[in-house]
Structure 1
Amino acid sequence: MLRPLKVPLKRYCYSSRFQKDLMSGLTVGVISLPLAMAFAIASGVKPEYGIYTTIIASVLASLFGGSRYQVTGPTGAFIPILLSIVLTYGYENLLIAGLMAGIILVVMGLLKMGTLIKFIPRPVTIGFTAGIAVNIFTGQIANFLGLVGLARHEGFIDSMREILLHLDTVNLYSILTAALCLAIILVTPRFFPRVPGSLVGLLASTALAALAYPGQVTTISTAFGGIPDSLPQFSLPVITLEKLQQLARPAFTIAMLGAIESLLSAVVADGMTGTRHNSNRELIGQGIANIVTPLFGGIPATGAIARTATNIKSGAVTRYSVVLSALFVLATLIVLAPYAGAIPLASMAPVLMIVAYNMSEHHAFIAILKTRSNSAGVLVVTFLLTVLANLTVAVEVGLLLAMVIFVKRMSDILVVTKVLPDPENHLARVGAQDRLDSHDCSQISIFSIEGPLFFGAAQMFSQSIIDTIQYNPKVVILRLSKVPFMDLTGEDHLRTIVNSLQKRGVMVLISGLNEQPEKTLHMTGLYETIGRNHFFPHTEHAISYALKHTDTEGCLRCRDRIFHRCIAEREAAAATEGIPA
């Protein structure tokens, strides 16, 4: 699983690849450091835990994962989930939930489930991403305004009510600090695109607060007691069966969101570099990172799209650029930790607000809304539930709604039509007739089924055929060449039709059966019930077989002349017996 260098380490260190990876690593490290602290604080834990996560998770995910350029660490998407877990279960249990999520990710990778993530509908992902962005943005209003005395709440409405109740504690120094940081973050990319605006904003606003009005704003030191300059210590959390049961759902939510974010980030990296990631290996790498990181106090991590893109744009060549960025963050922790405590929380607020704005995908959100379709409804429901309830409920309901809409659409695709042969094509095709009441065969009925025959459409399929057959024909031919898929519910309804017709003495013939439906019929035994000699590759073969089992006298009395053999037999009878042609 570990990806060794293809050249000796000494040669790599003197190569141009190392120089490019080093510059990219330094750039990513500079960006990752303030984000790590900001994400940790917003998640309700100490800032150093975000730094530990950045160091450990990025190295492990890079070495064991399936994307060459992926940068892993704490992300904004996790903030509402982690904060909810901390407020409900506590920090120690957050570590256990993160470890459990890592195990789930590894299992998902081993079971080759990496490709399944792409089947999550876009309205669901856009909906919960936008909802997370709203929660992150509103969660920083208190720090931006410098409000004090607030109790932390899990719910959005309770949090907003808390902010309104404490508006009288607004700190103008905090607003000034936050406004300066925000302005620098917004302006820096326009004039200095290669300079990380968040870091410059933090440094400038911290300097302003420390020099112009010291002690007037809340800092990391006053809120959390500073940041230790020591390495993270290994500690095994106390795990009990009760805790495992209690944290199963939060852990699954972390795992699913981590898988989605990581694989989306890997796809973005593929698009920027022309490479191709291994989705299952990426899940395993992310799982290993999330198993080990909590053992050193770190919080759950996932692939970070913005930092991954920065890694690529900065010239990264190998996966070791991420390792170098982690080493830079580690060195910075040891050297500059005492000074980081002076950073105001008001300076952190704009950093996270910009992150929330960038991850909101507001353009995609508006574009989906403009469609005024069922997908727009799924988007709105997922978004509102993410904001007002929680991400787990939002994703579950969003996926359920999307599945119901999908089933409805697929059931609408299924078309059951009673058809007759087209005389001009000598039974090469079967064409629908507009006047079946006045022009039909009393002995052979042919039905054409088009679309997947599954649980959402099976009832309509059986009802359509039963309602159409108003008499007892000798033979019923079911054309299934345009049925690509049949599930067990569809098979059960087909069995009901076959049994009903066979009890009435009607022969059932099948033409054009595709591979998947045939396997289903073999598996359930319906193939044998229908009869092996009652399956035909083409409809004309089934018709020829059916004509051999019809009543010849009935054919002679029929004037519709539906089939060519009927015409030939009637002409022969007219010539020998004087029956009118």
Structure 2
Amino acid sequence: MSLIISARQQWLANPRRDLLAGTVVALALIPEAIAFSIIAGVDPAVGLYASFIIAVTISIVGGRPAMISAATGAMALVMVTLVRDHGLEYLFAASLLTGVFQIIVGLLKLGRYIRFVSRSVMTGFVNSLAILIFLAQMPELIGANWQTFALVAASLAIIYGVPRITKAIPSPLIAIVVISAFVIWSGLDVRTVGDMGQMPSTLPMFHLPAVPLTWETFTIIAPVAATLAFVGLLESLLTANLLDDITDTPSDKDRETRGQGIANIAASLFGGMAGCAMIGQSIINVTSGARGRLSTLWAGLFLLFLILVLQDWVARIPMAALVAVMIMVSVGTFDWKSVLSLRSTPVQSSIVMLATTITVVVTHDLSKGVVLGVILSAIFFMRKLGKTIVVQDIETAEPGVLRYRVSGQLFFGSADVFAASFEHHGQPTRVEIDMTDVHLWDLTAVVAVDKVVFRYRRQGAEVRVIGMNEAGQSLIQRVGKHDKAHLPVGIVPDLNAP
């Protein structure tokens, strides 16, 4: 019964809003899919078929309701060299292998580790994509006539003005219909969807990639497929995180990972290229009111209906209306608070956010920016954590006796601070180190303890280490050197010591 209730909530909670939002997304998908096909160097049908198949498939098997997946620019950029050097069939084979890699990642349940991506990286990711979405509209505006700018302005006025009157119908859909009707009636000479490229006129057909099943083929497509799998999952999981925040609802990251793989395999078998989540279209979907899987399913089905049945009408939609929709998405996606709060935000967080944003915008490569952001976050975190190790010198009246109390996390980032915190002057006869409040994390931590013990022992002192927890004691016994039989004095773990 609970499964039935959950299915109804994910599919039929608000069908009207889902259908209207999916309609807007489908209209916005057409020029995007054609443009990404051109970037990849393939026929527009490849991107359009992929967008239809991936959207329909992911609506069923994905882990994030209302998220839109289709052919994307991030994936298209990776495909360029493969298509140029080896042809379209190798692209289909690489797309299929991409899906296999993603399913493996999903089965290993690695998708959940996206939670380790910091908020600063997420903000940089969102801001960079917002900038890229805006910049992607520039080719439609640079050198355009004044009528185009007037249509864009009118579209934006409708998009932002209609919600003040009614939210019954998504304002981007109203803008597209009204502006298209005006251009068709007036006969204005402006760029339209039909100018982007020829749309297909037949249903996608089942097609196995026509490549030789040899090790050489695998060595050609595997590196590309691995990159596509990584970039696709990175963009999809980060977009899922963003939608989780916007809608205040959870998603299943491992299911989404497997679903992306299944969708890419399906696309490759029906003449499409690999794709992933689209942040722009996903934002359009949820801001138009969509919350269920029906919106994604309808976006894919209506896209196919548009390109096969209504393509003559779709071809007459002015690009100015779609540019306005994407500008709205760009403005709404950008986290303006992150810029306004730069002075009050910790410096390290600001550096991570800016580095991620700038790298993605400059390279047009999402993976480079996010990986850099994650590395910087890890470095700053380890530096901060490394400073938390505290070695306190406890005064004692006994001559020749030194006592220390240590607290904090001992690992490779704090090991040097730990070792440098002990005094090694004079001739102590006995040294006692209380590690009750310390946790040892790795081999470097053990080496640091060894270093301290050996230094005192070389001076002839007896060394006792007390209060070490069970995990630290186990690590010491497995990899420590100071307790070997040939050494005169060893460490004395004492869990019950005060």
TMscore range, shorter length = 0.7 to 0.9
Report percent identity of matched pairs.
Answer: 24
CA–CA distance in structure 1, aligned partners of residues 9 and 235 of structure 2:
37
Instruction: Pick the aligned partner of 2:286 from 293, 306, 309.
Output: 309
Deviation, structure 1 residue 309: 3.3
Instruction: Pick the aligned partner of 1:29 from 22, 26, 51.
Output: 22
Contact 2:435/2:465 (8 A) holds in 1:
yes
Q: How does 1:74-473 map to 2 (within 5 A)?
A: 74=70, 78-79=72-73, 81-82=74-75, 84-85=77-78, 88-90=81-83, 92=88, 98-145=95-142, 147=143, 170-214=144-188, 216-225=189-198, 227-237=199-209, 238=211, 240-246=218-224, 248-266=226-244, 268-269=246-247, 271-272=248-249, 276-296=250-270, 297-302=272-277, 305-306=282-283, 309=286, 313=289, 316=292, 319=293, 322-323=296-297, 326-371=300-345, 373-391=347-365, 392-420=367-395, 440-465=397-422, 468-473=423-428
Mark the CA change 1:123 to 1:100 in structure 2 (over 3 Å): closer, same or farther: farther
One-letter amino acid matched to 1:257:
E
Mark the CA change 1:124 to 1:342 in structure 2 (over 3 Å): closer, same or farther: same
Mark the CA change 1:137 to 1:323 in structure 2 (over 3 Å): closer, same or farther: closer
One-letter amino acid matched to 1:306:
I
DSSP 3-state at the match of 1:479: strand
Deviation, structure 1 residue 480: 1.5
Deviation, structure 1 residue 25: 3.7
1:534 and 2:489 equivalent? Answer: no
Residue range with higher mean Cα deviation, 490-499 or 529-538? 529-538
Runs of 5+ consecutive residues of structure 1 not aligned to the other structure? 148-169, 421-438, 541-581
Q: Deviations over 1:260-316 (max 9, x none)?
A: 2224434554x24xxx433322221222223322433155122755356358x5575
Give the structure 2 partner of residue 43 of structure 1: 36
Give the structure 2 partner of residue 522 of structure 1: 477
CA–CA distance in structure 2, aligned partners of residues 508 and 353 of structure 1:
68
DSSP 3-state at the match of 1:452: strand
TM-score (norm 1): 0.72
Contact 1:267/1:277 (8 A) holds in 2:
no
Runs of 5+ consecutive residues of structure 2 not aligned to the other structure? 212-216
Contact 1:235/1:295 (8 A) holds in 2:
yes
Contact 1:26/1:324 (8 A) holds in 2:
yes
Deviation, structure 1 residue 244: 2.7
Instruction: Pick the aligned partner of 2:443 from 473, 488, 492.
Output: 488
Residue range with higher mean Cα deviation, 183-192 or 260-269? 260-269
Question: Relative contact order (alpha carbons < 8 A, sep ≥ 6): 1 or 2 greater?
Answer: 2
Contact 1:124/1:378 (8 A) holds in 2:
yes
DSSP 3-state at the match of 1:280: helix
DSSP 3-state at the match of 2:447: helix
Give the structure 2 partner of residue 425 of structure 1: none
Larger radius of gyration: 1
Residue range with higher mean Cα deviation, 389-398 or 322-331? 322-331
Contact 1:294/1:300 (8 A) holds in 2:
no
DSSP 3-state at the match of 1:43: helix
DSSP 3-state at the match of 2:416: helix
Contact 1:502/1:508 (8 A) holds in 2:
yes
Deviation, structure 1 residue 453: 0.7
CA–CA distance in structure 1, aligned partners of residues 104 and 306 of structure 2:
35
Contact 1:61/1:289 (8 A) holds in 2:
yes
1:501 and 2:443 equivalent? Answer: no
Q: Deviations over 1:413-468 (max 9, x none)?
A: 11112113xxxxxxxxxxxxxxxxxx653333221122111111101111222xx1
Q: Deviations over 1:470-526 (max 9, x none)?
A: 223232222222223421111111122223333443322222222432332233145
Residue range with higher mean Cα deviation, 299-308 or 255-264? 299-308
Mark the CA change 1:482 to 1:140 in structure 2 (over 3 Å): closer, same or farther: same
Mark the CA change 1:17 to 1:234 in structure 2 (over 3 Å): closer, same or farther: closer
